[in-house]
Structure 1
């Protein structure tokens, strides 16, 4: 302890001991050592000295600041503030000292090596002789690590963990702040990466993550005010504009920043993006603007070429309709408004009904019976198709079991399955459970698959189909030749049937090319052991031509329109 403070510190201890008899038995030599046992820095300045000079610092204070006692004693500790003298906490300290009051602040200080730290400082005015305060005791604690941890936690609640850009909650908050501050038009854009699932499946999820991080970096480099990841493969950004007419040029700059190829897994790939945007101002809240940009994005995703779409009032109407349809479909599930109509499939050689396709119908309370093209796409977008499909297969299996209960030759029923069900449901287990519950024979049911599902010729998809075939369930490609037709699928997948799309059947008598195509499909299918069903047969001429080509089965208005279960059952 320095001589300049030796007497004063002893008086302080004696004063404290007198005030608290329990300390009166503590020798001054022991009490004097206590400050150096503390992990917090302790400094004492003398108000009577010029510049409130430091008269004592403990070991912890020296360790925290990097200065030795000799370098500190006799100096005002404000030098630890470096050139950072505009911190508001410094004025709080000045005001407290002027009033000889206590104060507690956290401010930035600088060590001897130039590095900075957060100093949690508590100053307490004391008197060693009674009367007016003569000294200040300062307790110093380096809280840099805890402040950094707190900042990291705060950031994690606002940032997307993978890319580091804002999450959607923080984005909405900051857009509201931006609207209040800028006083200018603000562009909100939403961007969706097309066919992201293919990258995850083809290259792996780690590569998909790398692509997302590259996209985030490119968007950040556009100098947008805010960048956000709003979903799995969806981003958003906000940018104040000088005037609304700037929007299109800004969007084009964003599009150009995303256009160059992406390096993934040692290969370069080109990625397509859907993009929707809206321009708003302080009269509209952030949630509304983000929702409108999302509505415009939805239209972009639905366009054939992923056109960049600006928000229009029609987008708002469509968005409201989608919300209403979702609600109505949920109610339809609760009230059993979904059922099936059955369209006969006949043996073209004999004219006998040998099967039927189960066609989903929605008995809407206001609009009447709705066909699948009116609602299945939305059901897939919202995931409701999983509930509709599950309930549907159970309904069809129960009907199949009832129809075939006393038949010598069973009727086989086709049931359309969404690709989403194959991806998100354990189909072999689900089908096995349905068959067990209904008592239906697996051979009585065929699952109709779209060609888009065939594109995913992954090991997992092949395994699912093989397990279904092991159950005895038939697998049919619906509308063959209209989507991703590829003869390789006929070799790779364990199919049992091909359905020729009605587009090839219509006008068959007048088109030599259609006849050649159908004859080729039938010949290949026969060699591979598949049955062939021709859809959309409406005339006797079409039936005769297809029968003469050795097509197995036919379906169409010529043989009967789809009818409800009660009407269909007597037909067989």
Structure 2
């Protein structure tokens, strides 16, 4: 058989040399050694024999298949295909052999030990003595590793790296396929893990990752056809239904599967979830269902008890309104439609205006003047609050510089800061840059913080506040006592002022408990060196009571409503 191979291979070399007489020829002795030096498997089958048996295999072919030469010679190589004889590539080979044509395919083969390998095979028809082809020369390369690597890369583009469930792009694609191939409805749900930030901050990001993996596993075990991680702490799933009436029971099953505590890092954590869902069929597309489930999820997240919410047309309307508001707010930033009105703060002992709170307003082209409660929440959800806050502080600092020019006793301006700005912006550097650019004295600016920011009393947050105090700006807790009021804040944070919420001031004369609470806040603040501002003062009785309690400053309609910048300049 070696002689046959030499003759066949030599024939190919002689043919090539004849076609290229100027090229040096390869000695046939060297040519005969080439197959065993090759890393590719080489095999020859005889077309003249029944069944086209193998008549030659090199050592690489034997190493790849696990069969010895004696076990291979005389057999048709199709036995290497095992039970995978329906591969379309096999038909391509048969068609080419029938025409005595060359062919290249990649197909599955099986080694002697039963393990699968992918074979990149090239077949060339050759003639030993000239004339019609008498043999097929095959070159086989094991491409199992490269195919596995390619499959892994393909999978990584479809899957979330942490949880191994689908990413959102693949989820939409596969949901569309599911909708097209299934006649019955599917339930599409979006699920958001509440207070994920607290777990990351309290236990560490590695624990947060463990929780996400466990959530993905529980959702996968619900029997859902598709599970996806759509965001940091947000998941989605598509679950087949027998009929639309099964939606409520299915969503309850999903909710119960997520309810048990999560065991991580030696601790058990109870987690709450917001959940919105929609039922769809072949008449809807995946992107529409995802959007509608997201709109229902938004309503669930906004509810006090994170109610599970089914999509309703009203959700769609709200979602469109949010999108429209986002676009309008972006345009408002470009056209300087955000401005401030200033409400006076007075010294209760003398009645002198000593400060003002800068209150954000939106001069909407269609709806007129809009107060912050109409748009600040949405600005925080979309991140636009960063641009609004940056522009706002510059405006207030410039105004403070203008108002205090040549004033013997300066006016102090309070500016409300969103917690998001503290988390996503280098506040000390930003405030310092604003003060430098405007020429404002740091003592003229006071930043009003919400109690929700105090809850996250991390070392980083304390450091930010201390750096702000080192600049000389004041720090005030707004609406003290209405949220997460905790006297520990007064000890831990470098505050300069506490603002008593208007809810404690209203009806002060008729409520002994309110008077006791306010007196206590004033007494503690005085001992700690804080100023106290009472909000919402509307009557002389309230003013007199607060002054007699030694409250420092007051703010409310009794002293003046919020007015434009020009109106405030005239007032002072």
The TM-score, its normalising length taken from structure 1, stands at 0.97
Q: What is the CA distance between 1:193 and its match in structure 2?
A: 0.7
Q: What is the CA distance between 1:100 and its match in structure 2?
A: 2.1
Deviations 1:173-218 (A, max 9, x none): 1111111111211111111111111111122222211111111111
Deviations 1:277-323 (A, max 9, x none): 11111111111111111111110110011111111100000000000
Give the stretch that moved more between structures: 359-368 or 244-253.
244-253
Deviations 1:497-537 (A, max 9, x none): 10000001111111111111111111111111111111001
Flag the 1:531–1:359 CA change in 2: closer, same or farther, 3 A.
same
Q: What is the CA distance between 1:9 and its match in structure 2?
A: 5.1
The answer on whether the counterparts of 2:96 and 2:102 sit within 8 Å (CA) in structure 1 is yes
Q: What is the CA distance between 1:25 and its match in structure 2?
A: 3.8
Q: What is the CA distance between 1:24 and its match in structure 2?
A: 7.4
The answer on whether the counterparts of 1:358 and 1:415 sit within 8 Å (CA) in structure 2 is yes
Give the stretch that moved more between structures: 51-60 or 556-565.
51-60
Give the stretch that moved more between structures: 214-223 or 313-322.
214-223
Flag the 1:69–1:19 CA change in 2: closer, same or farther, 3 A.
farther
Give the stretch that moved more between structures: 20-29 or 82-91.
20-29
SS in 2 for 1:198: helix
SS in 2 for 1:304: coil
The answer on whether the counterparts of 2:13 and 2:25 sit within 8 Å (CA) in structure 1 is no
Flag the 1:35–1:557 CA change in 2: closer, same or farther, 3 A.
same
Flag the 1:10–1:332 CA change in 2: closer, same or farther, 3 A.
closer
Q: Distance in 2 between matches of 1:406 and 1:5?
A: 106
The answer on whether the counterparts of 2:13 and 2:26 sit within 8 Å (CA) in structure 1 is no
SS in 1 for 2:122: strand
Q: Distance in 2 between matches of 1:434 and 1:536?
A: 30
Deviations 1:93-137 (A, max 9, x none): 222222322222111101112111100111122222233221111
Deviations 1:2-51 (A, max 9, x none): 46656555555555544554677432211111112222111100011231
The answer on whether the counterparts of 2:5 and 2:32 sit within 8 Å (CA) in structure 1 is no
Deviations 1:377-435 (A, max 9, x none): 00000000000000000100111111111111111111000000000000011111111
State the partner residue of 1:570. 570
The answer on whether the counterparts of 2:227 and 2:236 sit within 8 Å (CA) in structure 1 is yes
Aligned-residue Cα RMSD (Å) equals: 1.5
Flag the 1:52–1:478 CA change in 2: closer, same or farther, 3 A.
same
Q: Distance in 2 between matches of 1:488 and 1:6?
A: 92
Q: Distance in 2 between matches of 1:6 and 1:325?
A: 80
Q: Distance in 1 between matches of 2:509 and 2:535?
A: 15
State the partner residue of 1:39. 39
Q: What is the CA distance between 1:83 and its match in structure 2?
A: 2.0
SS in 2 for 1:227: strand
Q: Distance in 1 between matches of 2:21 and 2:65?
A: 36
State the partner residue of 2:328. 328
Q: What is the CA distance between 1:466 and its match in structure 2?
A: 0.4
The answer on whether the counterparts of 2:6 and 2:31 sit within 8 Å (CA) in structure 1 is no
Q: Distance in 2 between matches of 1:76 and 1:4?
A: 18
The answer on whether the counterparts of 1:2 and 1:55 sit within 8 Å (CA) in structure 2 is no
SS in 2 for 1:453: helix
The answer on whether the counterparts of 2:6 and 2:28 sit within 8 Å (CA) in structure 1 is no
The answer on whether the counterparts of 2:185 and 2:240 sit within 8 Å (CA) in structure 1 is yes
Q: What is the CA distance between 1:358 and its match in structure 2?
A: 0.5
The answer on whether the counterparts of 1:276 and 1:296 sit within 8 Å (CA) in structure 2 is yes
Q: Distance in 1 between matches of 2:498 and 2:509?
A: 21
Flag the 1:97–1:550 CA change in 2: closer, same or farther, 3 A.
same
Flag the 1:326–1:12 CA change in 2: closer, same or farther, 3 A.
closer
Deviations 1:213-261 (A, max 9, x none): 1111111111211111111111111122110111111111111111111
Deviations 1:448-476 (A, max 9, x none): 00000000000000000000111111100
SS in 2 for 1:84: coil
Flag the 1:83–1:411 CA change in 2: closer, same or farther, 3 A.
same
Q: Distance in 1 between matches of 2:563 and 2:12?
A: 101
The answer on whether the counterparts of 1:344 and 1:562 sit within 8 Å (CA) in structure 2 is yes
Flag the 1:10–1:324 CA change in 2: closer, same or farther, 3 A.
closer
Q: Distance in 2 between matches of 1:277 and 1:82?
A: 47
SS in 2 for 1:554: strand
Q: Distance in 2 between matches of 1:33 and 1:157?
A: 44
Q: What is the CA distance between 1:87 and its match in structure 2?
A: 1.7
The answer on whether the counterparts of 2:339 and 2:362 sit within 8 Å (CA) in structure 1 is yes
The answer on whether the counterparts of 1:15 and 1:128 sit within 8 Å (CA) in structure 2 is no
Structure 1 unmatched runs, 5+: none
Flag the 1:525–1:57 CA change in 2: closer, same or farther, 3 A.
same
Q: Distance in 2 between matches of 1:545 and 1:5?
A: 113
State the partner residue of 2:476. 476
Q: Distance in 1 between matches of 2:197 and 2:129?
A: 78
Give the stretch that moved more between structures: 366-375 or 242-251.
242-251
Q: Distance in 2 between matches of 1:297 and 1:9?
A: 71
Q: What is the CA distance between 1:62 and its match in structure 2?
A: 1.2
The TM-score, its normalising length taken from structure 2, stands at 0.97
SS in 1 for 2:22: helix
State the partner residue of 2:465. 465
Q: Distance in 1 between matches of 2:202 and 2:361?
A: 36
SS in 2 for 1:276: strand
Deviations 1:116-165 (A, max 9, x none): 11001111222222332211111111111111111111112111111111
Flag the 1:427–1:24 CA change in 2: closer, same or farther, 3 A.
closer
The within-5 A match list for 1:173-212 is 173-212=173-212
